[in-house]
Amino acid sequence: MANSKKIEFRCNKAFTLIELLVVISIIALLVSILMPALAKARTLAKLAVCKSNQRQILVGVETYTTDSDGKLPAHVAMNDNGFNHWWDFPNYLACHAPQPVAGSLGSQFQYALPSVDIWYCPMSVLSPNMKKAGVVDSIERTYQEIYQKPDPENYPWVFMTYATFWRFGGFADTTQNPINATPFRGPGLKPANNVLKDKNHKFAIMDFVAHRPTVGIWESGHSFDGANKGDYFHESSEGVFEVDPVEALGDIRINGGFIDGHVEGFMASDLSKNRQHCRGRYYYLPEEAFRF
């Protein structure tokens, strides 16, 4: 009887090198298509959080005003004795004494808005959780500690990423720059007792956007094309002198809120330079801010 040979057939289930490369190429192609969409979705989500922050702050302002017989909250950068005030940054969260109005926004809002995070846009490079506020008298404090325990004698200047204008005095004095000045005036600068009566003065808060013409640097809480991450804001990488915001900031999107509580989105093309500069900066606000 003849011996029969048993023939076995084996099926190779492994990928060939070519098949593997094809799969990798397809995955890479899909990732390259999806990444811009995901990045845009993340940006839109952060913009939504930013807008929500501003709405909550405006609700806090309204609550304070209701409980204070119509008087708006004090501003860290506002001197009730007059408009010509040294603390002229609208984005101070806190600054130290001896100015008549000095301290932290926590003095007014620590109960209505207990978390300091509300004053920081998620699109900004500045976050209260990323760094300590500084050392004074050998004591290092967090942003939350400064916000919750105001002590104007013993803490450094602290910036936030929103510029607040309800009683900001830095734009009001025309004597230092009287050349056809059209200063911005916030809701609390008229009447003089800071009681909110004139609804036409209604612009109250926005994402920080400023230009430092002496060095040609644009600063913003939101990123823009060609910007570097500075210590506090996104900054233009090269000196850009006397250019409009569209040219300098591209298609940057920012949020701005009104004293009635609503928040709108603006583009660079909606922003105009305030004629009054404050400590070497021109602040850019929407046209709506100047309609009073």
Per domain, the residue ranges of the chain are: 47-290
Q: What letter would DSSP give residue 233?
A: S
Q: Which of 253, 249, 275, 276 is nearest to 263 (CA)?
A: 253
Residue of 165, 171, 175, 186 lying closest to 276 (CA atoms) = 171
Distance of CA 111 to the CA centre of its chain: 22
Task: Indicate the pLDDT class of residue 213, thresholds 50, 70 and 90.
Answer: confident
- Burial group, residue 9, by CB count within 10 angstroms (0-12, 13-18, 19+): exposed
List, as own/partner pairs, every contact residues 178-185 make where C-beta atoms lie below 8 angstroms and the sequence separation is at least 24, other chains included.
179/275, 180/275, 181/275, 181/276, 182/275, 182/290, 183/274, 183/275, 183/276, 184/274, 184/276, 184/283, 184/285, 184/289, 184/290, 185/292
With cut-offs at 50, 70 and 90, classify the pLDDT of residue 53.
very high
Q: What is the pLDDT of residues 148-184, one digit of tens each?
A: 876 666 666 788 999 988 877 666 544 444 444 455 6
pLDDT over 70 percentage in the chain: 68
How many whole angstroms separate alpha carbon 142 and alpha carbon 152?
Answer: 14
Residue count of the chain: 292
Q: Kindly provide the b/e burial profile for residues 102-131, where b requires at least 16 CB atoms within 10 angstroms of the residue's own CB.
A: bbbbbbbbbebbeebebbbbbbbbbebeee
The overall average pLDDT reported for the chain is 77
Q: What percent of the chain has pLDDT over 90?
A: 25
CA distance 83 to 89: 13
3-state secondary structure of 279: coil
Cβ proximity of 285 and 274 under 8 Å:
yes
Residues 119 and 141: their CA atoms lie apart, in Å, by: 17
